[in-house]
Amino acid sequence: MKQDNKLIVNAGSAGSLQVVLAVLTAMGKDYPIPVLVVLHRNNTFESSLEELFASRTRLVIKEVEEKDAIQPGVVYISPADYHVLIEQDRTFSLDYSERVNYSRPSIDVTFRSAAEVYGSGLIALLLSGGNADGAEGMQWVRDGGGLTIVQDPQTAEVPYMPQQVLLRMTVDIVAPTEELPELIHSLAYK
């Protein structure tokens, strides 16, 4: 499959930031697949995620803006308090509708939207977190032919989120935290 037909959505909540940073560190400067990071985060203060992520990778780091075209070699960060949707023309759309699973951005909303556009080219990674956001969306990814990866709950700082996925469905890969960076790195070259 051509690289421009792929997208990685790396998502999580409480306890996932360090894993996201480790995954970014493992990506080389020429990582060919766009990456969207969806994290539950507080919107009451100015975030420095762009600077933090940029300190771990030589890839371009960019907070999602309305109608941004999805480009290879870019790590996109979901903005606080907006759902991130993927349009058929492979641009982003931001939505301020009601919270899903008490969350905005909602991982479920993004997984579903990305699955509808990318189908078998979608790689969905769900990490540590304290609610069930992402469990329903993972089923959409699976139904669309995408690759489903869950952080092993036994190695997650907050195991509830990945546990909820595993209670509902069989995923393609359950990986311990320490194996995730190399796994995601290797998927770009398969």
Give this prediction's pTM.
0.93
Choice among 40, 106, 108, 128 that is catalytic = 40
Choice among 68, 95, 133, 152 that is catalytic = 133
3-187: which CATH number, 3.90.700.10, 3.40.50.170, 3.40.50.180, 3.10.180.10?
3.40.50.180
Per-10-residue mean pLDDT of the chain, 190 residues long, equals 76 93 89 93 67 88 95 93 94 88 86 97 96 95 97 97 97 97 87
What's residue 92's pLDDT?
A: 97
Residues 6+ positions from 77 with CB-CB distance below 8 Å: 37, 39, 49, 50, 53, 61, 62, 63, 64
Asked about 40 being catalytic, the answer comes back as yes
Distance CA 23, CA 42 (A): 22
Domain boundaries, the chain: 3-187
Asked about 133 being catalytic, the answer comes back as yes
